[in-house]
Amino acid sequence: MKGPTLTEARDPALVVDPDIAGWLLRTESEAEPTTVAEVRERSRRNNALALSEMGAALLPASETDQQIDGPGGPLSIRVLRPVSTPEHAGVRPTVVYFHGGGWVIGDIDTHLGHARRICAQVDAVVVSVGYRLAPENPFPAAFDDAVAATEWAAAHQGELGGEGAPLIVAGDSAGGQLAASVAIARRDAGQRLDAQLLLYPVTDAAGRYGDAAINQQYMSRRTVRSGSGLTLQGMANFATHYVDAASAADWRVSPIRCADLSGVAPAVIHTATLDVLRTEGNFYADALRRDGVEVISREFPTLNHSYFGLGGVSAVANSAAAQAAEDLNSVLHVSV
């Protein structure tokens, strides 16, 4: 693993955006769910509420569900196509999107708002992937599905964004980990990938968030407390469901553990100060830069984990989420 840099030299002020604070009071005041089924149900409910508050301007022209061949059987995807305008016609990027949820919760419905935002603001065709979830399907099921979906999108670009247009992987949280690991896999296979968008990603699951020595290396695991949404114990629960101890340091789960990151696709990495995953996301940006990869990274000081889906709740979250499209176009060297 690459070591720390000055990006995490001191503890930031942990002051949450007031609208996010109100959201957390609305959605997390009830008893903490104790089963996977209960956690999944809360995720569906909260994401549906967030989607209902999202602006109509982010609606795509179409959303089509289909199934493709996956390594474990039929793999569900949703293809979102942006509205055509005279200024934006012809070929568009294809973005393969992997939802968050600790590899255990979430699906293409819970993260529909995330996919819609990318579709509209990047002006891209988005392939949102319903990969297999743990504990029913532990590692490497999600990674294998992510690789397969990206290969499918690459093979079908002519009917998606268009031949020769950029191919991008993107994801939030555990989905960000999948995107990062797919980028490494495509580098290793000599396959084209033009960019990766990683939103508050998991990058180091070694120790499965329960190893004190590893946790000590990441400031946000020590300083971000309950009351900001995702907790360290929550990450430990997710990781334990997904991957065994022996495999947790594999780069297919922990991309920061990859010995050489040179030659992977340019990256946009956004993190939030009030997120237990902040430090590992920041360190991954540092590791990529040290290996010569072009990176745009930002940390949003008053936001928490999962802010990307809360644009209808918080103006600060909305602005931060919109920044992702601008930064992605920058690494693609696209004028907007």
H or E segment and range at residue 223:
helix 219-223
- Among 105-114, 239-248, 326-335, name the one with the lowest average pLDDT: 326-335
Is residue 57 in some structural domain?
Answer: yes
Average pLDDT estimate for 185-213: 98
Question: Residue 214's domain spans which residues?
Answer: 6-331
Is residue 1 in some structural domain?
Answer: no
Is residue 336 in some structural domain?
Answer: no
Say what the pLDDT of residue 45 is: 95
Strand order in the sheet with 267-274: 62-70, 73-81, 125-130, 94-98, 167-172, 195-199, 267-274, 295-304
Alpha carbons 230 and 200: distance in angstroms, whole number: 11
Tally of domains within the chain: 1
CATH code, 288: 3.40.50.1820
Is residue 286 in some structural domain?
Answer: yes
Is residue 298 in some structural domain?
Answer: yes
Say what the pLDDT of residue 32 is: 78
Segment 58-111, tens digit of pLDDT: 999 999 999 999 999 999 999 999 998 766 667 999 999 999 999 999 999 999
Reported pTM: 0.94
Say what the pLDDT of residue 9 is: 44
Contact, 76 vs 144, CB < 8 A? no
Please give the positions annotated as active site: 173, 275, 305
Is residue 110 in some structural domain?
Answer: yes
Is residue 13 in some structural domain?
Answer: yes
Segment 107-146, tens digit of pLDDT: 999 999 999 999 999 999 999 999 999 999 999 999 999 9
Indicate the residue type of 93.
Answer: P
Is residue 189 in some structural domain?
Answer: yes
